[in-house]
Amino acid sequence: MHLGIDSFVSAVTDPASGRLIGPEERMEHLLEEIELADRVGLYSFGIGEHHRSEYYDSAPPVILAAAAARTSRIRLGSAVAVLSAADPVRVFQQFATLDLIAKGRIDLVVGRGSFTEAFPLFGLSLADYDELFAEKLDLLLRIRESEHVTWSGKHRPPLTGQGVYPRPLQDPLPIWVGVGGTPESFVRAGLLGLPLMVAIIGGQPRQFGPLIDLYRRAGAQAGHPPEQLQVGLHVFGFVAGNTQEAADTIYPGWHEMFTKVSRERGFAPPSRAQFDATSGPDGAFFMGDPDAVAEKLVRISGQLGGVDRISLQMTNPRLAHADLLRGIELLGTEVAPKVAAGA
């Protein structure tokens, strides 16, 4: 099981001084974080895509190109690219170019996104939410298969044999499907034989077992070999010297993030009791000292029938840069070896 980090490049207010870290400084901090993840041997680093004021990740390929030039081993990718609101031709061109810059270290994880700002921003209707993704994923896979594509659909002008360039170093370019909790999404990924990235942001991870089984059954029935049906998890997490320190460091920013989202979506405001319960042994947050996090990673992987990779999302608007660097270091130098040894 490979370990990595995902970032939404959150705007950060320094918890000690109360100073808002400007976007230029935040980008420099982000590149330092990715460089450190590379040095300590983590497997991957993913950049999300949002079109909101509190995040600086609206153009992931630009960030990933800068990261590719400053790293040598770590795999880099999207977490996720909002394919529904993009042109599959441009997405493929951007990530193929990235793959050349990174010398074959790119993963493209595509999804529909958990926020909806991209749809009105790019003149799309939320009524077409699922249809847009299905059609654009079909075109993206067709482009991956062949440099000359003949294709027609409802939401994009047709292609009549044009070539799509450049081609990536990896053949094929790895394309993962990012999913939430709808059975249809799991079945679609299985039928297509695409690796699956499951976003778990609440509840208990083991509750996703039946959906992952559904994915594997759909893939097997479609004739795809088991080794092709990889499963990854995107989860909230943080590593510190001890479990209490980890929770106390992360909670203020978590509360800020989820208070805003809850207000927007009409949910009850989050509480510390809810946070602590979700951070517990069976909860969705992977929070604690290296031993606790490693044990939980191995245990949850077993509950889900084996997981190929887990990416900890450490974005937090109240997390000091030094604390995040320490968390990355602990994840790479202490948690990853324990996981490799079976915790």
DSSP 148-164: EEEE--SSS--EEEEE-
Encode pLDDT of 276-326 as tens digits. 999 999 999 999 999 999 999 999 999 999 999 999 999 899 999 999 999
What pLDDT sits at residue 164? 98
**How high does pLDDT run on average in the chain?**
96
Encode pLDDT of 173-207 as tens digits. 999 999 998 999 999 999 999 999 999 998 999 99
Domain 2-341, architecture per CATH: Alpha-Beta Barrel (3.20)
pLDDT band, residue 141 (cuts 50/70/90): very high
Residues in Cβ contact with 264 at an 8 Å cutoff, skipping those fewer than 6 apart: none
For residue 313, which of 1, 5, 3, 88 has the smallest C-alpha distance?
Answer: 5
| Identity of the amino acid at 261 | V
pLDDT band, residue 241 (cuts 50/70/90): very high
Question: Which span out of 112-116, 328-332, 339-343 was modeled with the highest average pLDDT?
Answer: 328-332
Distance in angstroms (rounded) separating the CA atoms of residues 238 and 325: 11
Distance of CA 213 to CAs 8, 177, 210, 303, 304, Å?
29, 16, 5, 11, 8
For residue 76, which of 112, 38, 40, 111 has the smallest C-alpha distance?
Answer: 38
CA dihedral 296, 74, 14, 261 (to 10 degrees): -60
Give the three-state DSSP class for 290: helix
Distance in angstroms (rounded) separating the CA atoms of residues 186 and 202: 18
What pLDDT sits at residue 113? 81
What pLDDT sits at residue 80? 96
Encode pLDDT of 319-340 as tens digits. 999 999 999 999 999 999 999 9
Helices (H), 71-113: 88-101
What pLDDT sits at residue 4? 98
Distance in angstroms (rounded) separating the CA atoms of residues 104 and 343: 30
pTM to 2 decimals? 0.96
Per-residue DSSP letter, 10: B
For residue 173, which of 108, 109, 110 has the smallest C-alpha distance?
Answer: 108
What pLDDT sits at residue 114? 79
**Could you tell me the end-to-end alpha-carbon distance of the chain, in angstroms, rounded to an integer?**
12
